[in-house]
Amino acid sequence: MPSLVEWLGFLTGAACVWLVVQRNVWNYPVGIANCLFFLVLFTRSRLYGDAGLQIVYIILNAHGWYLWLRGGPTHTGLTITRSGPRLLLLMGAFVVAATFGLRTVLRMAGGAAPWMDALTTALSLAAQILQNRKKLEHWWFWITADIFYVYLYIARDLWLTSVLYAVFLAMCIVGLRTWRAELRK
């Protein structure tokens, strides 16, 4: 049975992703609340990579909040843009290196699923970095991560959270389409 913390994570997570789809800057404070709930949940489940990721997310959410409000060329909000090949290659290399590095750390910490936990953590960090810069391609990183997250959370008996990540996956597909349409305008 899902705990109160898992329910609160579910509700704030769904609200956060929906706000990103809508390109609404309020996704960041809601995202910070979501991170706090998931920090508790993942620590209890011994998913230490995902738990540690929540601390990093709090910092990245604060940074993204600033960028979306004041990160443009004239200190105005950012607009949606595409990532160049160099940035995507850099993010891909980051995902590979971070996955291998984190896997080792998570094994030593006694993590429940070191490979999958490391991969989803690395993909999520890359996605958040690109999202903070309002890059269209961040959606592909989230979609990939969410596919793996659904499996991981089912394997750890976090059924409500696995449903949430399936909802995230669907919302990411909608977000990709919405942002693409906005970019074409």
Secondary structure (H, E, C), 101-165: HHHHHHHHCCCCCHHHHHHHHHHHHHHHHHHHCCECCHHHHHHHHHHHHHHHHHHCCCHHHHHHH
**Beta carbons of 59 and 36 less than 8 angstroms apart:** no
Beta-carbon contacts of 47 under 8 Å, excluding residues fewer than 6 positions away, are: 111, 112, 113, 117, 152, 156
**Beta carbons of 80 and 179 less than 8 angstroms apart:** yes
The model's pTM:
0.88
- Residue 164 is predicted with a pLDDT of 87
Bridge partners (DSSP) of residue 135 are: 81
- Residue 71 is predicted with a pLDDT of 84
79-107 burial code (b ≥16 CB/10 A, e <16): ebeebeeeebeebeeebeebbeebbeebe
CA angle 99, 100, 105 (to 5 degrees): 95
- Residue 58 is predicted with a pLDDT of 96
pLDDT means over runs of 10, the chain (185 residues):
89 93 95 96 84 91 93 84 97 98 91 91 95 96 97 90 92 96 92
- Residue 100 is predicted with a pLDDT of 96
**Beta carbons of 21 and 171 less than 8 angstroms apart:** yes
Residue type, 133: R
- Residue 48 is predicted with a pLDDT of 81
- Residue 180 is predicted with a pLDDT of 97
- Residue 73 is predicted with a pLDDT of 78
Total count of domains within the chain: 1
Structural tokens at position 38: 């998931």
The whole domain housing 74 covers 4-184
